[in-house]
Amino acid sequence: MTLVHPSAVVDRRAELADDVAVGPFAVVEAGVVLGSGCILHSHAVVRGPTRLGPGCVVFPFAVVGGEPQAKHHSGGPAGVEAGDANIFREHATVHGGTDGRTTTLGRQNLFMVGAHVAHDVAVGSHCVFANCAQLAGHAVVEDWVTFGGLSGVAQRVRVGEGAFVAAAAACERDVPPFVVVQGDRARVRGVNVVGLRRRGVSEESIVALRRAVRALWSPRSPGGTRAAALESLRESGDAYVRQLVAALTAEP
């Protein structure tokens, strides 16, 4: 049974599943589709056209959808597509895409207080954005990435699978998968061991990644180059190392 508080404003052109809950003073605009079990707490705002998958939760004063902060936006539909079980905590914001494009979110992501996802961003699944983490337009975040508070990602930067972006890190270049980056400007500091173990990655693969990261980013002997290290790792027997090498050698 859908529960809509009398003070909520729900446009008749919105589509709500049968068991959605909409709290006091929440706003649901035309073009919004809320999947089964979605919960909008008091003062939450979902702007159209936005589609939230089953089990998404929007906390007070979060805003999902709406026009992008982009000077070149032509004024066409600014869509957001989100998979199931995403959580948007207080004051989190997700902007729609520009010129008819769509901002996309996978499933089971957590956007903590004040996190921001800009226009045309693509976020994978199982990611965590700590308080005030910021993604600029057209950024790409792969699965299982964790962001510390106040971290930021510049326009069109890609953050690889399983990376950890430390608090206040400023990412102006692509972040390889499975590593920890930290600093202004962010640099590789090591392997995201904690994140990999939480996912159940084997200790053998973690050891292999540590060796690969040392070979690629630690001071090299005279005559040694990163290109040579990449070539030596290309045929690694470990799938995670091969994925790291593939990300570093991919065409822009």
Separation between Cα atoms, residue 85 and residue 62, nearest integer Å: 16
pLDDT value of position 218: 86
- Residue 252 banded pLDDT, cuts 50, 70, 90: confident
Q: What is the pTM of this model?
A: 0.96
238 is annotated as an active-site residue: no
- Residue 76 banded pLDDT, cuts 50, 70, 90: confident
Question: In the listed set 174, 192, 210, which residue is the last one of a domain according to the structure?
Answer: 192
Question: In the listed set 163, 192, 221, which residue is the last one of a domain according to the structure?
Answer: 192
pLDDT value of position 229: 92
119 is annotated as an active-site residue: yes
In contact, 42 and 62? CB cutoff 8 Å: no
Section 33-37 average pLDDT: 98
Q: Judge if 121 and 137 occupy the same domain.
A: yes
Selected catalytic residue, list 23, 137, 160, 162: 137
Strand partners, 165: 147, 181
pLDDT value of position 125: 98
Separation between Cα atoms, residue 159 and residue 176, nearest integer Å: 7
Q: Judge if 188 and 213 occupy the same domain.
A: no
Selected catalytic residue, list 41, 91, 95, 119: 119
Q: Judge if 28 and 107 occupy the same domain.
A: yes
Q: Judge if 83 and 109 occupy the same domain.
A: yes
Q: Judge if 108 and 204 occupy the same domain.
A: no
Tell me the percentage of the chain whose pLDDT exceeds 70: 98
Cα 231 from chain centroid? 31
pLDDT value of position 123: 99
Q: Judge if 151 and 177 occupy the same domain.
A: yes
Query: What residues make up the domain containing 227?
Result: 196-249
Q: Judge if 213 and 172 occupy the same domain.
A: no
Residue 176 has pLDDT above 90, yes or no: yes
pLDDT value of position 222: 59
Q: Judge if 23 and 112 occupy the same domain.
A: yes
DSSP assignment string, 117-181: E-TT-EE-SS-EE-TT-EE-TT-EE-TT-EE-TT-EE-TT-EE-TT-EE-TT-EE-SPBPTTEEE
Q: What is the pLDDT of residues 112-157, one digit of tens each?
A: 999 999 999 999 999 999 999 999 999 999 999 999 999 999 999 9
Domain count, the chain: 2
Separation between Cα atoms, residue 247 and residue 175, nearest integer Å: 9
120 is annotated as an active-site residue: yes
Selected catalytic residue, list 41, 95, 96, 120: 120
Section 203-217 average pLDDT: 97
